[in-house]
Amino acid sequence: MKIRIDKARCVGNARCWAIAPDLYPLDDDGYISIEGFDVPEGLEAIAKRGARACPERVIEVIEE
């Protein structure tokens, strides 16, 4: 599973980070600091929860 993030559309709600801070790091201004990542094995459920928590829907879950 992969996560793709549209950083340009992030408005800094930080709801993804509140659920999974190790997967969704924020920059110094409170915006998502990465554009995506490969989800580590065993963390799929929490990655999906973090993605669903984004009210702007800037996080896409890509099932492989």
pLDDT at position 64 is 83
Q: What angle do CA 21, 25, 30 make, to 5 degrees?
A: 105
pLDDT tens track for 15-53? 999 999 999 999 999 999 999 999 999 999 999 999 999
Using a 10 angstrom Cβ sphere, with 0-12 exposed, 13-18 middle and 19 or more buried, the burial of residue 55 is exposed
Question: Is the Cβ–Cβ distance between 49 and 20 less than 8 Å?
Answer: yes
Residue 14, amino acid = A
pLDDT at position 43 is 98
pLDDT at position 41 is 97
Going along the chain from its start, the domains and CATH numbers come out as: 2-62 (3.30.70.20)
Question: Is the Cβ–Cβ distance between 4 and 64 less than 8 Å?
Answer: no
Please state whether the predicted TM-score (pTM) of the whole model is above 0.85: yes
59's enclosing H/E stretch is strand 59-62
pLDDT at position 19 is 98
